């Protein structure tokens, strides 16, 4: 597939997936299988875990330091620390504010969309109920972010 | 006239009539008297002269022929004329020829012989001397003395005059009396009527009079005037009544309204020239304390954080909402509405305004806001949390055929597991949403129940889960009762025990303790576990609707929200205490004693 070849351009980027619903996380991961990128994706299941990952605190403290992600896929409704709170933290921290954050949620509420963009989200995507559409979304998503998009050099 | 001023009108009339009548009567009587007297005298003289002439004619011949006896005979005819008292016939040489005396001879007669011809009146006697002529020659004289009886005459005339005077005088008085009755009496009556009316203030009396004369006109005008006064009086009374009613209304308006009315100087302190007493209810400070900043200025009680905003907004007509600090340090929201008034005449400016306590409204707004947020969260969840399992089911039923085709058993099992979980989650969510929506809508009448009995009933309901997880149950219950909607309170306990069971399952020797204790005089019910505990950072999210602290737990985020709502419907409070992760959690709640089905129903209508 020519798509795969183009995609390889950004093959080294790392992605942080923040998703509390294990089923949804599984769907996202399976969708990305076509891009052969799953090794680059790190999954956390709540907002606090996401922050801990970024700041190397809690379970992520100590030696086994992970690299700072190039892209963050963030759900909105998260246990403990809400998605919007996580977004606020990221975008107000000089270390992380350049990381593109993409909201991937089931919520289509205008308020949530407005809140996300107010807090400088880079993109807002709604999870389609239909699997085929979900696949299409992830395909376009990968094509865009993994092939065309230029990331800042750390 | 000054002397008459204080006399009554009929006295005046009588005096005036008497004085003037008297003077007139006396004058007329006197004139008549004098007049009559002179007329009488003239008559007397004329008669005497006539008699003297007649006698002298008769006596001329006897005198000439010197027959004294015959002359005397003639003289004696004078006997018939009563008045003549003496007569003397003299011859040419003035010696007495014949003499007649009615009574006695009067000595003084000779005195008058020497007098001239004519008459002479003296001392009540008329003396007449008549010369006697015969053929042109004087042959003698006749002297005659007539008693005039003037004294008697005067007396007689005087009596008549006096009689006349008295008759006239009586007439005068009668006239005065008549005038008094006809003219003065109505005026006097009018005076007394007016006095009575003015004393009693009764202008309704009708004093109208028939007639065209001035008195009747006076009466009728006066009557008209009284009617006018009466009408005006009635209108005045009505106006006064209306005015006092409106004043009363105004007063009760000012004193009964919850708002504070004030008039303040235009300065930075709201120096009050008037502030209604309700300020005490509002702020706890007396009105007098604010007047002229006696003890404190109004600005002093404005909440510090709001002062800047308030000062900025006070201009022309203004509406403000800000907080004040009351005497007992409580914060109250107030609405102030006022206007700066510039009086051009006096050049003064002031603020007139009203301050209203809107704390309740603000609380309600706050409550409404919270309710709105909850509602929003609710709809959000319906779209998000209900959509989530749908996305899962759709996705994995989509993966399933290709996984079966590949014969990838691990994947097939995973797919089925996700589908099953999502379906279960969905049905659980729907059940709990239904349960949540029932609260407040269906209210059971309050009942009082022994708490231990209630706990034992609940434990039977959750027995399956407790046994499966091998959880120890400890009871530490004082003999207390709990009052309220018992089925709902059962739900509270069931949720709390379920929740505790959920998070103690991984602990060593999992234990749940249910008990009561007394804190600050209130009976507190608690459910304590030795489970995973709560990170204090997320304590505020604990009771939020659809909030989950653990992504891996199988809860829906409704259970504790349900607990909170039921406890609050009982005017109670629920909270959690935990020393941190891994240190267990204690859920505590208390029930207010004012629970009635009515007020809970009202909350949810």
pLDDT digit string (tens) for B44-69? 888 888 888 888 888 888 888 888 88
Q: A23 vs B395: CB contact, 8 Å cut-off?
A: yes
* Separation CA B12–CA B4 (nearest Å): 6
Quick one: B65 and B213 in the same domain?
no
Q: For residue B94, what are its two tokens?
A: 């003035």
**pLDDT at res. A75:** 92
Quick one: B228 and B268 in the same domain?
no
Q: Return the residue of B nearest to A82 by Cα.
A: B547
Q: B551 vs A21: CB contact, 8 Å cut-off?
A: yes
Residue B126 has pLDDT above 50, yes or no: yes
B229, B265, B547, B580, B596 from B538: Cα distances, Å: 85, 51, 10, 11, 33
Residue B177 lies in a domain: no
CA contacts within 13 A on the Cβ side of B506: 8
Decide: A58 and A48 in contact? Cβ < 8 Å. yes
Which residues in chain B have their CB less than 8 angstroms from residue A112's CB?
Answer: 380
**pLDDT tens profile A109-120:** 888 899 999 999
* Ramachandran area for residue B267 (φ above 0: left; ψ -120 to 50: alpha; else beta): beta
Cβ contacts below 8 Å, chain A against chain B, sum to 75
Q: Return the residue of B nearest to A80 by Cα.
A: B549
Q: What residue numbers bound the domain in which A18 lies?
A: 2-148
Q: Which residue has the higher pLDDT, B80 or A72?
A: A72
* Total Cβ atoms within 10 A of residue B375: 11
- Best A46, A79, A125, A137 member to test B by mutation, with max B CBs in 10 Å, is A79
- Best B376, B391, B552 member to test A by mutation, with max A CBs in 10 Å, is B391
**pLDDT at res. B462:** 87
Q: A129 vs B394: CB contact, 8 Å cut-off?
A: yes
Quick one: B444 and B593 in the same domain?
yes
Per-residue confidence at B593, pLDDT binned at 50, 70, 90? low
Residue A9 lies in a domain: yes
Quick one: B468 and B505 in the same domain?
yes
**pLDDT at res. B258:** 67
Q: What residue numbers bound the domain in which B496 lies?
A: 440-603
β pairing state of B137-147 and B585-590: unpaired
Residue A88 lies in a domain: yes
The most confident of B120-124, B242-246, B313-317, B324-328, by mean pLDDT: B324-328
Last residue of a domain, one of B332, B357, B382: B357
**pLDDT at res. B522:** 87
Quick one: B252 and B107 in the same domain?
no
Pick from A105, A45, A120: nearest CA to A80: A45
Residue B394 has pLDDT above 80, yes or no: yes
Q: B549 vs A80: CB contact, 8 Å cut-off?
A: yes
Residue A29 has pLDDT above 80, yes or no: yes
- Best A106, A108, A114, A115 member to test B by mutation, with max B CBs in 10 Å, is A106
* Separation CA B308–CA B270 (nearest Å): 14
Which residues in chain A have their CB less than 8 angstroms from residue B380's CB?
Answer: 107, 109, 112
Rounded to an integer, the average pLDDT of B151-167 is: 80
Closest Cβ–Cβ partner in A24, A105, A108 for B392: A24
Instruction: Name the 3-class secondary structure at B514.
Output: strand
- Sheet strands (E) in chain A: 15-18, 41-44, 71-74, 101-105, 123-126
Residue B316 has pLDDT above 80, yes or no: yes
Instruction: Name the 3-class secondary structure at B585.
Output: strand
Q: Return the residue of B nearest to A75 by Cα.
A: B384
* Separation CA B321–CA B326 (nearest Å): 16
* Separation CA B287–CA B260 (nearest Å): 10
Closest Cβ–Cβ partner in B387, B396, B549 for A79: B549
Closest Cβ–Cβ partner in B380, B388, B396 for A21: B388
**pLDDT at res. A123:** 95
Q: For residue B114, what are its two tokens?
A: 């020497």
Rounded to an integer, the average pLDDT of B333-355 is: 87
Per-residue confidence at B114, pLDDT binned at 50, 70, 90? low
Quick one: B423 and B498 in the same domain?
no
**pLDDT at res. B602:** 36
Quick one: B447 and B572 in the same domain?
yes
**pLDDT at res. B111:** 58
**pLDDT at res. B524:** 92
* Separation CA B141–CA B55 (nearest Å): 11
Which residue's structure tokens are 């109670």?
B572
The span from the first CA to the last CA of chain A, in angstroms, equals 31
**pLDDT at res. A154:** 61
The most confident of B15-19, B99-103, B482-486, by mean pLDDT: B482-486
**pLDDT tens profile B255-301:** 766 688 888 888 877 788 888 888 888 888 888 888 888 888 888 88
Q: A80 vs B392: CB contact, 8 Å cut-off?
A: no
**pLDDT at res. B594:** 53
* Separation CA B215–CA A25 (nearest Å): 119
Q: For residue A92, what are its two tokens?
A: 């107000």
Quick one: B399 and B325 in the same domain?
no
Per-residue confidence at B526, pLDDT binned at 50, 70, 90? very high
- Best B384, B390, B549, B555 member to test A by mutation, with max A CBs in 10 Å, is B384
* Total Cβ atoms within 10 A of residue B566: 26
Residues of B at the A interface (Cβ-Cβ below 8 Å)?
376, 380, 383-385, 387-392, 394-399, 414, 418, 421-422, 535, 537-538, 541, 546-552
Q: For residue B97, what are its two tokens?
A: 């020829």
Return mean pLDDT, chain B. Answer: 82
Q: What is the CATH number for B346?
A: 3.30.450.20
Q: Return the residue of B nearest to A76 by Cα.
A: B384
* Separation CA B431–CA B439 (nearest Å): 13
- Sheet strands (E) in B266-418: 272-275, 317-325, 331-342, 349-357
Rounded to an integer, the average pLDDT of B393-420 is: 91
* Separation CA B556–CA A45 (nearest Å): 16
Decide: B543 and B564 in contact? Cβ < 8 Å. yes
HEC-encoded secondary structure of B417-451: HHHHHHHHHHHHHHHHHHHHHHCCCCCCCCEEEEH
Q: B392 vs A27: CB contact, 8 Å cut-off?
A: yes
Residue B514 has pLDDT above 80, yes or no: yes
- What ipTM was assigned to the predicted interfaces of this complex? 0.84
Closest Cβ–Cβ partner in A108, A112, A131 for B394: A131
* Separation CA B84–CA B74 (nearest Å): 14
* Separation CA A123–CA A111 (nearest Å): 15
Task: Kindly tell me the burial class for residue B174, based on how many C-beta atoms sit within 10 Å of its own C-beta (0-12, 13-18, 19 or more).
Answer: exposed
Rounded to an integer, the average pLDDT of B362-385 is: 79
Residue B440 has pLDDT above 80, yes or no: no
The percent of residues above 70 in pLDDT, for chain B, comes to 93
Pick from B138, B106, B137, B134: nearest CA to B122: B106
Which residues in chain B have their CB less than 8 angstroms from residue A79's CB?
Answer: 547-551
Give how far B525 is from chain A: nearest CA, Å: 27
**pLDDT at res. B596:** 45
Residue B458 lies in a domain: yes
The interface residues of chain A toward chain B in range 105-124, judged by CB-CB distance below 8 A, are 105-109, 111-112
Q: What is the CATH number for B512?
A: 3.30.565.10
Which residues in chain A have their CB less than 8 angstroms from residue B424's CB?
Answer: none
Per-residue confidence at A18, pLDDT binned at 50, 70, 90? very high
Closest Cβ–Cβ partner in A22, A80, A130 for B394: A130
Quick one: B475 and B585 in the same domain?
yes
Residue A3 has pLDDT above 60, yes or no: no
**How many distinct structural domains can be found in chain A?**
1
Instruction: Name the 3-class secondary structure at B51.
Output: helix
Per-residue confidence at B112, pLDDT binned at 50, 70, 90? low
Decide: B486 and B444 in contact? Cβ < 8 Å. yes
Quick one: B444 and B434 in the same domain?
no
Phi, psi of B410 (to 5 degrees): -60, -45
Residue B162 lies in a domain: no
State the angle between helix axes of B185-200 and B214-256 in degrees (0 to 180), rounded to the nearest 10: 10
Q: For residue B24, what are its two tokens?
A: 């007139």
Residue B599 has pLDDT above 60, yes or no: no
Q: Which residue has the higher pLDDT, B534 or B252?
A: B534
**pLDDT at res. B597:** 43
Quick one: B339 and B365 in the same domain?
no
Residue A70 lies in a domain: yes
Residue A154 lies in a domain: no
Residue B545 lies in a domain: yes
Residue B600 has pLDDT above 60, yes or no: no
Q: Which residue has the higher pLDDT, B252 or B61?
A: B61
Q: A106 vs B391: CB contact, 8 Å cut-off?
A: yes
**How many distinct structural domains can be found in chain B?**
5
Which residues in chain B have their CB less than 8 angstroms from residue A130's CB?
Answer: 394
Residue A134 has pLDDT above 80, yes or no: yes
* Separation CA A89–CA A72 (nearest Å): 13
* Separation CA B211–CA B214 (nearest Å): 9
Q: Return the residue of B nearest to A106 by Cα.
A: B384
* Separation CA B395–CA B419 (nearest Å): 9
* Total Cβ atoms within 10 A of residue A103: 26
Residue B72 has pLDDT above 90, yes or no: no
* Separation CA A146–CA A71 (nearest Å): 10
Last residue of a domain, one of B235, B256, B277: B256
Residue B595 has pLDDT above 70, yes or no: no
Q: What is the CATH number for A46?
A: 3.40.50.2300
Residue A129 lies in a domain: yes
Residue A96 lies in a domain: yes
Instruction: Name the 3-class secondary structure at B398.
Output: helix
CA contacts within 13 A on the Cβ side of A85: 13
Decide: B295 and B289 in contact? Cβ < 8 Å. yes
Which residue's structure tokens are 């042109």?
B136
Return the sign of the alpha-carbon dihedral for residues B274, B277, B280, B283.
Answer: negative
Pick from B79, B116, B80, B114: nearest CA to B100: B79
Per-residue confidence at A8, pLDDT binned at 50, 70, 90? low
Give how far B276 is from chain A: nearest CA, Å: 46
* Total Cβ atoms within 10 A of residue B414: 18
**pLDDT tens profile B188-243:** 787 888 788 778 777 777 777 777 777 788 888 888 888 888 888 888 888 888 88
Quick one: B376 and B426 in the same domain?
yes
Last residue of a domain, one of B357, B388, B418: B357
β pairing state of A101-105 and A123-126: parallel
């Amino acid at each position: 597939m020519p798509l795969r070849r183009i995609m390889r351009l950004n093959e080294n980027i790392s992605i942080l997936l923040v998703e509390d619903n294990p089923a949804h996380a599984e769907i996202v991961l399976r969708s990305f299988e076509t891009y052969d990128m799953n090794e680059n994706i790190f999954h956390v299941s709540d907002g606090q875990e996401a922050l801990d990952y970024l700041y190397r605190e809690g379970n992520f403290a100590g030696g086994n330091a992970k690299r700072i992600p190039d892209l963050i896929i963030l759900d909105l409704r998260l246990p403990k620390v809400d998605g919007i709170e996580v977004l606020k933290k990221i975008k107000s921290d000089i270390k992380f504010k350049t990381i593109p954050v993409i909201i991937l949620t089931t919520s289509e509420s205008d308020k949530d969309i407005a809140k996300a963009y107010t807090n400088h989200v880079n993109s807002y995507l709604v999870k389609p109920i239909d699997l085929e559409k979900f696949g299409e979304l992830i395909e376009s998503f990968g094509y865009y972010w993994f092939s065309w998009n230029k990331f800042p050099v750390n | 006239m000054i002397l008459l001023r204080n006399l009554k009108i009929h006295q005046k009339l009588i005096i005036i009539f008497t004085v003037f009548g008297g003077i007139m009567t006396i004058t007329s009587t006197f004139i008549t008297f004098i007049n009559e007297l002179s007329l009488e005298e003239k008559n007397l003289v004329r008669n005497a002269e006539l008699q003297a002439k007649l006698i002298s004619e008769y006596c001329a011949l006897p005198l000439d022929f010197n027959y004294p006896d015959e002359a005397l005979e003639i003289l004696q005819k004078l006997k018939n004329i009563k008045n003549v008292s003496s007569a003397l016939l003299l011859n040419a040489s003035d010696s007495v020829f014949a003499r007649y005396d009615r009574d006695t001879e009067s000595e003084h007669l000779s005195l008058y012989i020497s007098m001239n011809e004519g008459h002479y009146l003296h001392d009540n006697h008329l003396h007449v001397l008549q010369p006697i002529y015969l053929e042109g020659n004087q042959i003698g004289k006749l002297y005659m003395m007539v008693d005039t009886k003037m004294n008697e005459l005067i007396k007689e005339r005087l009596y008549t005059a006096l009689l006349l005077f008295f008759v006239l005088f009586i007439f005068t008085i009668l006239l005065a009396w008549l005038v008094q009755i006809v003219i003065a009496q109505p005026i006097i009556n009018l005076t007394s009527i007016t006095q009575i009316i003015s004393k009693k203030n009764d202008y309704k009396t009708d004093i109208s009079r028939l007639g065209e004369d001035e008195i009747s006109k006076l009466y009728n005008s006066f009557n008209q005037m009284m009617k006018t006064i009466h009408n005006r009086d009635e209108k005045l009374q009505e106006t006064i009544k209306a005015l006092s009613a409106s004043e009363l209304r105004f007063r009760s308006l000012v004193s009964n309204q919850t708002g504070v009315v004030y008039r303040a100087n235009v300065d930075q302190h709201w120096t009050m020239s008037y502030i209604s007493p309700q300020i005490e209810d509002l702020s706890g400070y007396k009105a007098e304390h604010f007047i002229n900043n006696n003890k404190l200025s109004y600005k002093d009680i404005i909440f510090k954080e709001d002062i800047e905003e308030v000062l900025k907004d006070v201009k022309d007509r203004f509406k403000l909402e800000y907080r004040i600090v009351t005497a007992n340090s409580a914060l109250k929201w107030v609405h102030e509405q006022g206007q700066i008034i510039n009086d051009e005449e006096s050049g003064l400016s002031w603020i007139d305004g009203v301050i209203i306590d809107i704390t309740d409204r603000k609380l309600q707004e706050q409550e409404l806001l919270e309710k709105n947020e909850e509602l929003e969260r609710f709809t959000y969840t319906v779209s998000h949390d209900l959509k989530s399992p749908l996305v899962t089911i759709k996705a994995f039923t989509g993966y399933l055929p290709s996984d079966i085709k590949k014969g990838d058993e691990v994947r097939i099992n995973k797919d089925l597991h996700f589908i099953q979980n999502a379906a279960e989650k969905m049905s659980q969510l729907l059940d709990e949403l239904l349960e949540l929506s029932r609260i407040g809508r269906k209210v059971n009448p309050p009942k009082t129940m022994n708490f231990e009995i209630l706990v034992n009933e609940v434990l039977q309901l959750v027995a399956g889960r407790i046994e499966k997880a091998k959880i120890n149950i400890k009871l530490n219950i004082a003999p207390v009762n709990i009052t309220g909607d018992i089925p709902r309170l059962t739900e509270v306990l069931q949720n709390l025990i379920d929740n505790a069971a959920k998070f103690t399952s991984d602990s060593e020797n999992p234990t749940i303790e249910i008990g009561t204790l007394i804190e600050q005089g209130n009976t507190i019910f608690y459910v304590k576990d030795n489970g995973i505990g709560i990170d204090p950072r997320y304590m505020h999210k604990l009771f939020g609707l659809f909030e989950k602290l653990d992504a891996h737990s199988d809860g829906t985020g409704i259970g504790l929200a349900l607990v909170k709502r039921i406890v609050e419907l009982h005017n109670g409070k629920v909270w959690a205490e935990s020393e941190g992760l891994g240190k267990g959690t204690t859920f505590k709640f208390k029930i207010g004693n004012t629970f009635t089905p009515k007020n809970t129903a009202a909350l949810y209508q």
